């Protein structure tokens, strides 16, 4: 996704599809190259998702009791998902910056630690949060759509809201696909802010570091026009579907397991 969202890619890193990109990266750069940066994502994902789901459940329950007297309120689901995103992205934004810089073509960083040290030394701590407002602008509507779609799908295929792995996987995948496509223009801008793509910035005579969502939007349009905002949309959907399906099925399993264990203990 990071490679396909590049606005001025190196001739050796130009891809027409997700499959071609994956195949070319593996053949020219090695089998493990597509997994570069996965360790920093895994480190950030644990605490980020813990805060994310805990906040979501608490706010959803409180608001649903107020709005619909204990029923399932889609408004409550959307608000809860949006607020939970603030905590989640505060952790994951840093991890995303490091991951995307390591995934760039000809990335100069040898390891996660080397990347963190270099960015901190050359650009300052603020570099890790340069895209935070853009990420929130993208992820707040994404998560609102994501949670509303998931809860809606559960109402349709699992109305009793029982633990049903198949329904959680299907609902999660559909919710991820629907929510992934909508904010792609913001994701392209976020990638540009995170990677500070040298070839792209120099081609429009930008020296130093690009900052701010408005500047990112203008730069993307200068470089790719309207179609530039939708670079990598296929990769986003393909990435989000299994990602959200796995996240929801694992979450619902532990929620069921812990609740069952607690009831048995009582």
pLDDT tens digits along 77-116: 999 999 999 999 999 999 999 999 999 998 999 899 999 9
Give the residue-averaged pLDDT of 58-63: 91
pLDDT band at 230 (very low <50, low <70, confident <90, very high): confident
**Start-to-end CA span in the chain (Å):** 48
Can you tell me whether residue 124 is helix, strand or coil?
coil
Query: Could you give the CA distance from residue 36 to residue 258 in angstroms, rounded to a whole number?
Result: 34
Q: Is residue 152 pLDDT above 90, yes or no?
A: yes
What average pLDDT does range 129-148 have in this prediction?
87
DSSP element (H, E) containing 119 = helix 112-123
Q: Report residue 171 as tokens.
A: 């609902």
210 neighbors 196 (Cβ within 8 angstroms): yes
Q: Calculate the average pLDDT of the chain.
A: 88
* pLDDT computed for residue 189 by the predictor: 87
* pLDDT exceeds cutoff 70 at 126: yes
Q: Residue 173: its pLDDT value, please?
A: 96
Tell me the mean pLDDT in the region 146-171. Answer: 93
pLDDT band at 158 (very low <50, low <70, confident <90, very high): very high
Pick from 46, 41, 81, 88: which is nearest to 60 by CA? 81
Q: What percent of the chain has pLDDT over 90?
A: 40
Q: So what's the pLDDT on residue 201?
A: 80
Going by pLDDT thresholds of 50, 70 and 90, the confidence category of residue 192 is confident
CA distances from 111 to 93, 107, 222 (A): 18, 10, 33
> How confident is residue 134, by pLDDT bands cut at 50, 70 and 90?
confident
Q: Strand, helix or coil at 232? A: coil
User: 161's torsion region: left (phi>0), alpha (psi -120 to 50) or beta?
Assistant: left
- Whether the pLDDT of residue 70 is over 70: the answer is no
pTM confidence score: 0.66
Please tell me the distance from the alpha carbon of residue 252 to that of residue 237, in angstroms, as a whole number.
22
Stretch 212-220: mean pLDDT: 86
């Amino acid at each position: 996704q990071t490679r396909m969202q590049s606005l001025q890619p190196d001739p050796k890193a130009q891809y027409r599809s997700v499959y071609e990109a994956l195949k070319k990266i593996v053949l020219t750069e090695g089998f493990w190259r597509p997994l570069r940066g996965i360790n920093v994502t895994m480190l950030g994902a644990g605490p980020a998702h813990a805060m994310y789901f805990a906040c979501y459940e608490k706010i959803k329950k409180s608001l649903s009791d107020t709005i619909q007297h204990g029923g399932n309120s889609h408004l409550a689901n959307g608000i809860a998902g949006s607020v939970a995103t603030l905590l989640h992205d505060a952790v994951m934004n840093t991890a995303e910056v490091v991951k995307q810089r390591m995934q760039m073509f000809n990335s100069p960083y040898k390891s996660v630690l080397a990347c963190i040290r270099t960015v901190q030394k050359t650009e300052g701590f603020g570099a890790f949060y340069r895209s935070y407002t853009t990420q929130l602008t993208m992820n707040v509507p994404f998560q609102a759509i994501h949670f509303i779609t998931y809860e809606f799908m559960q109402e349709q295929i699992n109305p009793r809201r029982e633990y049903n792995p198949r329904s959680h996987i299907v609902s999660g995948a559909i919710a991820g696909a629907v929510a992934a496509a909508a904010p792609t223009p913001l994701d392209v801008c976020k990638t540009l802010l995170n990677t500070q793509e040298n070839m792209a910035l120099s081609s429009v005579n930008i020296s130093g570091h690009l900052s701010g969502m408005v500047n990112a939007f203008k730069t993307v349009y200068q470089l790719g026009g309207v179609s530039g905002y939708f670079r990598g949309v296929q990769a986003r959907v393909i990435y989000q579907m299994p990602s959200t399906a796995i996240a929801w099925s694992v979450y619902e399993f532990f929620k069921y397991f812990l609740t069952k264990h607690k009831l048995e203990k009582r």
